[in-house]
Amino acid sequence: MKTRKLGRNGPEVSAIGLGCMGMAAFYGPASSQAQAEEVIHRALDLGVTLFDTAEMYGPHTNEVQLGKALAGRRNKAFIATKFGIGYNAERTALKVDGSPGNVRRAIEGSLQRLNVDHVDLYYLHRVDPDTPIEETVGAMAELVAEGKVRFLGLSEASPATLRKAHATHPITALQTEYSLWSRDPKDEILATCDELGIGFVPYSPLGRGFLSGEIKSIDDLEESDFRRTNPRFMGDNFQKNIDLVTAVTEVARARGVTAAQLALAWVLAQGEHLVPIPGTRRVRTLEENAAAADLVLSPDDLAAIEAVFPRDAATGHRYATAGQSSLNR
């Protein structure tokens, strides 16, 4: 596995990481511990070092899955987890809490569930509009001083927020959705990361599995899969987006690779400071995704992709109302 540096002064990690969310949450019934360990252990064998989870995933159960899977191999893994967001009791809205008190509460829980003495990269999952970012990051910085956290990150933060946070304590990585069909960060956010020497970690680089070309119908998703309520998977949007993926699949076929590999290689081609974290529950898909790290796209390849899947071509918001309202702009 090729490696990349996560930010100008950050650590070296695998060029493609593993997003662990889907093993425990949102995409239908959770994987068993044995299933999760099979994928995580194979990822380690392939040279994947960056493993991404969050307090919210489960909630809590994904951190437990990852911690158990890494037992005895902790030194091979760079663990990233997140705090600061969760559903209310009715699961009708998201609650964001970046208060210093919650920073302290959250890290103690994550360390226990992961069964580690420190987290390598600690993200604020969503920016709290009611707590100045300087206060949140200041509290997170205390964890670095105490050795409970090595590096700090933000998720879905605007350039202005990122600058304020970075001025308080160096931010190593910004995590935001980014893929062929979610290019919001393309301009100012990516430029800001590059300017400040901050690594960029695209989550859902395969469009929540859509860009793999394997989802042909909404019926391919479990009844409890949250993607059934995602605007891009609903109604007329679904077919319009399927047509885009079909066109990309043809470009991939001509290149002798899968649509997923082409989509991941496209993300990697957007800058050396990008480290995508596709998720999966299957070893076969993991191996396919990891192989994309070796796929180098030529200018002609990139032009062919752009011709069939231009920016803003995807139809529908990337989250339903509750999710959209939690994004920092």
- Lowest-confidence pick of 58-62, 158-162, 322-326: 322-326
Q: What is the pLDDT of residue 87?
A: 77
| Residue 165: closest CA among 192, 134, 189, 130 | 134
326 has a pLDDT exceeding 70: no
Question: Domain 3-209+267-294 in CATH: superfamily?
Answer: NADP-dependent oxidoreductase domain (3.20.20.100)
Half-sphere exposure for 309 (CA within 13 Å, toward CB): 27
The per-residue pLDDT for range 308-319, each reduced to its tens digit, is 999 999 998 887
Higher pLDDT, 307 or 90: 307
Q: Please, which pLDDT band fits residue 189 given cuts at 50, 70 and 90?
A: very high
Q: What is the pLDDT of residue 317?
A: 85
Q: Please, which pLDDT band fits residue 26 given cuts at 50, 70 and 90?
A: confident
The per-residue pLDDT for range 84-106, each reduced to its tens digit, is 998 776 667 789 999 999 999 99
Name the residue ranges covered by the structural domains of the chain. Answer: 3-209+267-294
320 has a pLDDT exceeding 70: no
The per-residue pLDDT for range 213-272, each reduced to its tens digit, is 888 889 899 988 888 988 999 999 999 999 999 999 999 999 999 999 999 999 999 999
41 has a pLDDT exceeding 90: yes
Catalytic residue among 57, 123, 178, 319: 57
SS3 assignment for the chain? CCEEECCCCCCEEECCCEECHHHCCCECCCCCHHHHHHHHHHHHHCCCCEEECCCCCCCCHHHHHHHHHCCCCHHHCEEEEEECEEECCCCCCEEECCCHHHHHHHHHHHHHHHCCCCEEEEEECCCCCCCCHHHHHHHHHHHHHCCCEEEEEEECCCHHHHHHHHHHCCCCEEEEECECCECHHHCHHHHHHHHHCCEEEEECCCCCCHHHCCCCCHHHCCCCEHHHHCHHHCHHHHHHHHHHHHHHHHHHHHHCCCHHHHHHHHHHCCCCCECCCCECCCHHHHHHHHHHHHCCCCHHHHHHHHHHCCCCCCCCCCCCHHHHHCCCC
Q: What is the pLDDT of residue 321?
A: 61
19 has a pLDDT exceeding 80: yes
Q: What is the pLDDT of residue 107?
A: 98
| Residue 83: closest CA among 50, 51, 127, 118 | 127
176 has a pLDDT exceeding 70: yes
Residue labelled with tokens 């997923």: 260
Look up the pTM and report it: 0.94
Sort 10 into a burial class: Cβ within 10 Å, 0-12 / 13-18 / 19+.
Answer: buried
Residue 87 designated active-site:
no
Q: Any residues with CB less than 8 A from the CB of 323 and at least 6 apart, and which?
A: 94
Q: What is the pLDDT of residue 273?
A: 92
54 has a pLDDT exceeding 70: yes
